[in-house]
Structure formats: structure tokens, C-alpha cells
Amino acid sequence: MKRKLSILLTAIFAVLIYIIIQSGVQFIYTFVIYFQNISHDTELSGAALKAIFSMKQKKELLSLVAIILTSIIFYYKYYKDNTIRKIANITLKKCGIKQIIHMIITGISVTVLLYMIMLFLLEQGMVPNEEINLMEMSQSNLILAVITVGVIVPIFEELLFRGLVYGSFKHIFNPWLAITIQGAIFAFIHKSGVQCVYTFLLGIIVALYYHWNKNMIYCFVIHIIFNIFGTYILPYFFWSKDKIIFFTVTASILFIVSLLWQRKLIDVTQ
């Protein structure tokens, strides 16, 4: 019981470190910009708005800084600890062409389905209409945004949530409960409303594929496709009713194909 509690607290503490550093970096940047503006702008509210706007414009850069700082701490606190490494048991395996195709089909179908679900929920007013895109992004530096939001953030979050958090929880709970809890925590660190809904579903789906394949590469590929496709492609479509039906049906078929393919992969490994 004591060991399980220690594992649980280790995983939760890792998530808290990430939240604190990310929030701290944004706060410090906003604080510095605010005092730079206050000397030129006598209106306090005006300086505050400029600082917040500047922080949002630099969100990708600040996220990158937060991830670098968090990774340094994780390396010295967690990775060098052999006990924690054995608990998390992050597995990276070589993938063949068929597996890569399977990952791509899964990533695209999951992204489209979740996007269609979000469009439906937003249209029905079932979640706050805080953002239409799957991810909130700044257009100030597209290349930096794609690299950070599209690649670095997904890899880091998969190592943290599916690697350390889920890897720890499966030693405490049964796999399905561990998958659900880590999905809820993954959703919690994101914004409320629509983003909270789709990150919860994404967290569960990616964890399931990691559970089935025991390969973190699956998590990386699915999450990267989700962020890039869902951020820089789908939001810029003109969504008519016919297009929504077509994409939903097509994505559903592809997802079923992915699940059947996954079942075949499990049968082969067994």
C-alpha cells in the first residue's frame, strides 16, 4: 500500500511540476512585459492588456521554454532514477511500413472524428464556444508554431502522460481505470470547455493504442497527426452539411479498419 501511494504521488507530482513551470513561465513573461509597458502607458488596464496579448502572441515560444525547463528537471529527478524508469517502462520499438500506415490511418481517423464531435457539440451549445480550432495558436511565427505545437508538445506530453502517468497508474489500478484516470488528468491540464472534452477522448484513445501495442511511437504519431491536422488543416475547411457527413462516414470507416487491424496485430503477437 505504501509503495502504491508513493507511485501515485510521484506521477501526480510530475504533472504538477509541468503545470507550475508552464504557468510560471507565462506569468513571469507577462509580468515583465507589463512593467515595460507601464512606463509608457499611464493606464494600468492598457498595460495589462498589452502584456496579456504579447504573452498569447509568444505562446509557442513560452511553451517551448517551459518544456525545456521541465525536461531538465524530469531528467535529473525521474529519468536517472532506475526505480521510476522501471515503473514508467516507456517502450520504443522499431516499426515496419505496415505499422506506420496503421498509425497514420488511426491518427487521421481519430482527428477527424473528434473534430466532427466538437463541431456537433459547439453547434448544439453543449460546450462553451471558447475556440473553434482544436488548438489555440498564434500566427506570429508559423514555423515555430508547427514545430512546437505540432511535434515537440505531443512528444513531451506523451512521455509524461502515457509514459510516466499511465505507466505509474497501471501498477496501482486495473488497465482500464488507469487509462480513464490519466485521460481525465490530461484533460484537466488543458483549458475548460471544448478543449477539455476532446483532450479527454484523445488521452483515452492514445493510451489504449499504447496499451495494445506497448510502443510509445504509436502515441507520438497519433498525437502529432492530431495536433498538426487538427490545428492547421481542418479548421480552414468550409464545413457544409454534406462535407461533415462525408468526413464523418469516411473517418468512421477508417477508424473501424484501424481497430480491426489492431485486433489482427494483437492476435499475431499472441
Instruction: Please state the domain extents for the chain.
Output: 2-269
- The whole-number pLDDT of residue 208 equals 96
What's the pLDDT at 46? 66
Tens of pLDDT along 97-108? 999 999 999 999
This prediction has a pTM of 0.88
Q: What is the pLDDT of residues 128-185, one digit of tens each?
A: 555 444 444 444 577 888 899 899 999 999 999 999 999 999 988 999 999 999 999 9
d(CA 18, CA 66): 8
Average pLDDT of the chain is: 84
